[in-house]
C-alpha cells in the first residue's frame, strides 16, 4: 500500500509484515529541500501507522559528491535519525549501495551518528533485500 509518493521516493507499506519500504533517492544538492520533506513524510507515516520495521533500499543509489559532502546532507541525515528516534520503530534495515564510494561515505556518517545518538531502534546493513527482510522479521512473527 502506497502511503506517500513524490518525484524522489515512494513509501510502500505492507500491513501484513509491518514493514515500510523506501528506495533511497538519487538527487542533486538543489533538491535537498524536497528530500527533507519526503523524509519528514516518512517519519510522519512511521508515527501515524505505528510502523515497527523500516527497509531502506540504497542498492541502486549512486554517489553524488556534491550532495553527500555537503554539511546540509549530514544535517538532514542526522535530523532524520533523531526524528526516527521519536517513533516506536523497532528495527531499520538498509540495503547497501553497490557504489563503493557512496557506501564508504555512508558508513563514516553512520559511525559518527552512533557516537552522538543513543538509538531507540536497531539498525543493520545488508547486501540483499531477502537478508534484510529476514532480519527485520526475526523474532517478530
- pLDDT tens digits for 50-81? 999 999 998 887 767 787 888 898 899 999 99
Q: How far apart are CA 52 and CA 88, in angstroms?
A: 6
What is d(CA 16, CA 81) in angstroms, rounded to the nearest whole number? 25
pLDDT reading at 9 higher than 70:
yes
Domain enclosing residue 20, as ranges: 2-137
Number of domains in the chain: 1
Indicate whether this model's pTM tops 0.85: yes
Which CATH number is 7's domain given?
Answer: 3.30.750.24
d(CA 107, CA 113): 10
Q: Distance between CA atoms of 1 and 97, rounded to whole angstroms?
A: 25
CA neighbours closer than 13 Å in the CB half-sphere of residue 70: 15
Amino acid at each position: 500500500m502506497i502511503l506517500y509518493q513524490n518525484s524522489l521516493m515512494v513509501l510502500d507499506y505492507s500491513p501484513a509484515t509491518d514493514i515500510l519500504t523506501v528506495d533511497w533517492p538519487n538527487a542533486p544538492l538543489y533538491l535537498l529541500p524536497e528530500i527533507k520533506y519526503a523524509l519528514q513524510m516518512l517519519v510522519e507515516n512511521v508515527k501515524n501507522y505505528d510502523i515497527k520495521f523500516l527497509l531502506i533500499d540504497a542498492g541502486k543509489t549512486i554517489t553524488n559528491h556534491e550532495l553527500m559532502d555537503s554539511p546540509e546532507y549530514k544535517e538532514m541525515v542526522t535530523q532524520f535519525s533523531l526524528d526516527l528516534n521519536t517513533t516506536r520503530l523497532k528495527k531499520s534495515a538498509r540495503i547497501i549501495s553497490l557504489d563503493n564510494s557512496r557506501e564508504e561515505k555512508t558508513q563514516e556518517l553512520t559511525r559518527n551518528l552512533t557516537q552522538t545518538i543513543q538509538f531507540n531502534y536497531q539498525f543493520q546493513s545488508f547486501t540483499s533485500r531477502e537478508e534484510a527482510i529476514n532480519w527485520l522479521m526475526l523474532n517478530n512473527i
